[in-house]
């Protein structure tokens, strides 16, 4: 098939659909649903995306690896020999407080591994670029997936607890807050009306859940607030708050409340719909 046979609107649609995080499988299915033949749509997609036709044919046979997290239900779950208790549970928004997700020793080791690499925390601006932001005054760093044996163990524990493969997680983020520092109310899902949406979701799709793990117990303040339901989760060393959301879920608004005395350390894992490429 020659390039000139592909209409510019179709070419643009294929590019924007791919940029917005749809898999090749979805893209080809959408084309077939709108009347293109299987072979025809594969040829067009290979041309537009400059991919070998065999890769496109393989993608057409594989359903996308999307996963929904299984929100922990049982009051107590044993994950790879490690006991986790669900002590608070709400379904609008979906929030679970997970006691004992990490051991005290794991918390201390994570802090020690992260501390030499801390930098001012960033947020993602409307164009998908990272920026410093007065709403987020902590310092932090990211580990690569499986970067250390400890990070690997924690990632596997979260994956087993929630039924979402490790590959769907963004790298573990460590944050450190001092008195007065906070993260003002925000959503973790990416806003589709913002210009940067396609760029941030191109690598793994939308975020679908967050796990904020507390690595120490601040002397005062520093909980995680969910203002839509008036819930404050107390930051307690080794426990975590898991929350899940769909795009646009206003009830998932949350904040890292100001630390009043002492300091606060957290590790955050964000989970994507599909395997995430850093
Ligand atoms: O610091 C907290 O308790 C919450 C952190 C948070 O909301 C985030 O990193 O998205």
Confidence bin at 23 (pLDDT 50/70/90): confident
**Residue range(s) defining the domain that contains residue 24:** 3-61
40 and 153 part of one domain: no
56 and 139 part of one domain: no
d(CA 252, CA 238): 22
Shortest-distance Cα residue to atom 1 of ligand 1: 256
15 and 87 part of one domain: no
Reference 241, options 210, 264, 273; nearest CA is 210
Segment 200-209 shows an average pLDDT of 88
- Which of 183, 226, 227, 241 should be mutated for ligand 1, with most atoms under 8 A from CB? 183
261 and 161 part of one domain: yes
Q: Is 239 in the pocket of ligand 1 (CB under 6 A)?
A: no
Residue 7 lies in a domain: yes
248 and 140 part of one domain: yes
If you compute the radius of gyration of the chain from its CA atoms, what whole number of angstroms results? 21
Shortest-distance Cα residue to atom 5 of ligand 1: 256
36 and 123 part of one domain: no
Q: Is 256 in the pocket of ligand 1 (CB under 6 A)?
A: yes
Shortest-distance Cα residue to atom 9 of ligand 1: 268
What is the token pair recorded at 157? 């524990």
229 and 258 part of one domain: yes
Question: Which pLDDT tens digit goes with each residue over 74-112?
Answer: 889 999 899 999 999 999 999 999 999 999 999 999 999
Confidence bin at 20 (pLDDT 50/70/90): low
**What's residue 195's pLDDT?**
77
46 and 175 part of one domain: no
**What's residue 64's pLDDT?**
64
193 and 131 part of one domain: yes
Helices (H), 181-272: 197-201
What is the CB neighbour count within 10 angstroms for residue 213?
26
99: CA distance to ligand 1 center in Å? Answer: 17
Shortest-distance Cα residue to atom 10 of ligand 1: 188
Whichever domain contains 167, its CATH number is: 2.60.120.620
Residue 127 lies in a domain: yes
30 and 156 part of one domain: no
82 and 193 part of one domain: yes
87 and 52 part of one domain: no
Residue 26 lies in a domain: yes
29: CA distance to ligand 1 center in Å? Answer: 37
Q: Is 224 in the pocket of ligand 1 (CB under 6 A)?
A: yes
Domains identified in the chain, total number: 2
pTM: 0.79
Residue 227 lies in a domain: yes
d(CA 76, CA 54): 47
**What's residue 16's pLDDT?**
77
Q: How many CA atoms lie within 13 A of 122 on its CB side?
A: 11
d(CA 13, CA 32): 14
Residue 174 lies in a domain: yes
Residue that the structure tokens 């041309």 belong to:
47
Residue 69 lies in a domain: no
């Amino acid at each position: 098939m020659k390039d000139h046979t592909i209409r510019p609107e179709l070419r643009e649609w294929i590019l924007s659909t791919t940029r917005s995080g749809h898999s090749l499988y979805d893209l080809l299915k959408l084309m077939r649903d709108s009347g293109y033949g299987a072979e025809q749509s594969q040829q067009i997609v290979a041309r537009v995306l400059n991919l070998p036709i065999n890769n496109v044919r393989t993608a057409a046979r594989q359903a996308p690896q999307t996963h929904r997290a299984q929100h922990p239900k049982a009051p107590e779950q044993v994950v790879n020999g490690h006991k986790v208790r669900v002590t608070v549970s709400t379904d609008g928004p979906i929030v679970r407080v997970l006691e004992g997700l990490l051991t005290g020793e794991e918390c201390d080791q994570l802090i020690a591994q992260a501390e030499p690499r801390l930098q001012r925390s960033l947020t993602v601006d409307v164009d998908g670029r990272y920026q410093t932001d007065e709403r987020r005054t902590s310092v932090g760093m990211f580990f690569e997936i499986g970067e250390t044996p400890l990070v690997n163990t924690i990632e596997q524990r979260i994956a087993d607890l929630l039924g979402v493969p490790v590959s769907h997680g963004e790298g573990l983020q460590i944050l450190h807050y001092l008195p007065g520092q906070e993260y003002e109310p925000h959503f973790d899902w990416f806003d589709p009306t913002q210009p940067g949406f396609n760029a941030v979701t191109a690598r793994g799709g939308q975020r679908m859940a967050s796990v904020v793990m507390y690595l120490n117990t601040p002397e005062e303040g520093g909980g995680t607030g969910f203002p839509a339901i008036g819930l404050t989760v107390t930051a307690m060393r080794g426990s975590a708050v898991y929350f899940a959301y769909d795009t646009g879920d206003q009830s998932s608004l949350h904040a890292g409340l100001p630390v009043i005395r002492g300091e606060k350390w957290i590790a955050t894992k964000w989970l994507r719909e599909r395997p995430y490429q850093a």
